[in-house]
Amino acid sequence: MVDQVLEMMTSQLISADPMKLHHVVLTGGGAGLSINNRLTDVAKNIPEETWANTHFWWGDERFVDSDSPDRNDIGIKSSLGDFFIESNIHRVAAAEQVLSAEVAASDYVRELIEFGSAGVPPKFTFVILGVGPDGHIASLFPGHPQLNSHSIAVPVFDSPKPPPVRVTLSYPTLNNSQCTVLLLAGESKREALAAILNTRGRIDLTPARGIQAAELYAVTDLLVAV
């Protein structure tokens, strides 16, 4: 599954204009971190100019200290090695860097807008989103008010998964994407996948159903009857 996602990302970046900026959204979780740890495979297979113009963001981040193993961006510098470009890595501020998750969200919004136009973030070239067993994506959880937010990024204070305080991109931001991949690996994701495929499903119960993109894929190791 990791190989497939890396190949898809590589294909999107190879077909992109190497002289323009390209924006990729990364995710956490087991599969997400496995992908992040192998981004050098992408760097080696696309033009140097394209890699130099590729910027990385995170769909959500846990509001903990920067050296916490709970961070989604943990280890990205060492993973990229010689391909690491500090100015191209856009992290959500950590707990010891700003006063609150609200400030971290506001700072992330400001940074996204800097790369967009007319107060709107840039269109993402490639978005990776892990799907939880409950159907959540990023830190957009079933029944939570962030599902209805039109802000670019918002704080979360009561995540049902620890740690409880986070920052997440909203639907309008995530859905401004050329190509988005939903990751569903393992038996624990079977019900979530079935809910995504169910034409009568509800976004408030299965947030992954609210994701849109010009190209939208679900990458899974499950076999589901349709």
Q: pLDDT for 181-209, tens place per residue?
A: 999 988 888 898 889 888 888 999 999 99
User: What residues form DSSP beta bridges with 25?
Assistant: 57, 127
Whole-number percent of the chain with pLDDT over 90:
84
Ordered structural domains, the chain, with CATH:
2-220 (3.40.50.1360)
Going by pLDDT thresholds of 50, 70 and 90, the confidence category of residue 123 is very high
Tokens 């599954």 locate to: 1
**pLDDT value at position 56?**
98
> What is the tens place of the pLDDT at every residue in 11-54?
999 999 999 999 999 998 888 899 999 999 999 999 999 999 99
Crossing angle of the two packed helices 29-36 and 2-14, in degrees rounded to 10? 50
Reported as a single tens digit per residue, the pLDDT across 162-181 is 999 999 999 999 999 999 99
| Mean pLDDT in residue range 118-133 | 95
